[in-house]
Amino acid sequence: MMEEDMKAILYTKEEVAARIQAMGEQLTRDYQGELPMVVGVLRGSFIFMADLVRCIQTPLELDFVAASSYGSWAVSTGKVEMRLDLEKEIMGRHVLLVEDILDTGRTLSKLVEELKKRHPASLKLCVLLDKPDRRVTEIEADYVGFTVPDEFVVGCGLDFNQKYRQLPYIGILKPSVYE
């Protein structure tokens, strides 16, 4: 069972759902009448994004990007590349970039840099998790689900070697699983 690979459960399914509901209510107010372009960063954001947009009551459009970073999570090389681009132009649009976790900040810094070149009306960041202890770039999210300690977490879209994404809770993976 996957639960046996967890050192601890940080946030239960119910806690995650309640937090995402509150974020959706906030976003509903903040983007009232603006038809935002909600952009998910594949693959980690897909579950959070699906849950989040169903809690946003104002019209929006969706798109996706993918980024690849070289090196492992533990030994990041810092090189990030956009691997899948948006389908539509975002000039003059209100863009909300949605990601699973803001860790070192390299991925989102690179994506923000790319998207800003296209002159969106606004560009905001929304992450399910924020792990500020590992930040190496100057970037903060505008919307944060939970701030987490410097541990390797999985579930709600976050993986280890593509596994554990489907867990409905946020768990800390036992180091013995990845060491």
Contacting residues toward ligand 5GP, per CB under 6 A:
44, 69, 73, 99-107, 131, 152-154, 158-160
3-state class of 8 per DSSP? strand
* Least distance CB 127 / ligand 5GP (angstroms): 9
Token reading at 171: 């768990």
Please choose which of Mg ion, ligand 5GP, none residue 105 contacts, taking the beta carbon within 5 to 8 angstroms, the exact cut-off set by kind. ligand 5GP
In the complex, residue closest to Mg ion by CB: 44
Please choose which of Mg ion, ligand 5GP, none residue 153 contacts, taking the beta carbon within 5 to 8 angstroms, the exact cut-off set by kind. ligand 5GP
* Least distance CB 143 / Mg ion (angstroms): 17
Token reading at 157: 């879209």
* Least distance CB 160 / ligand 5GP (angstroms): 6
Which window, 26-34, 43-51, 117-125, 143-151, contacts Mg ion (CB under 5 A)?
43-51
Q: What is the DSSP secondary-structure string of 30-81?
A: HTTTS--EEEEEETTTHHHHHHHHTT--S--EEEEEEEEEEE-SSSEEEEEE
Nearer to ligand 5GP, 27 or 101 (CB): 101
The answer to whether residue 44 forms part of the interface with Mg ion (CB under 5 A) is yes
Catalytic residue check, 142 = no
Kind and range of the H or E run holding 100: strand 94-102
The DSSP 8-state label assigned to residue 87 in this structure reads S
Give Cα separations from 169 to 25, 45, 58, 138, 174 (angstroms).
Answer: 21, 14, 27, 29, 15
Residues that bind Mg ion (CB under 5 A): 44
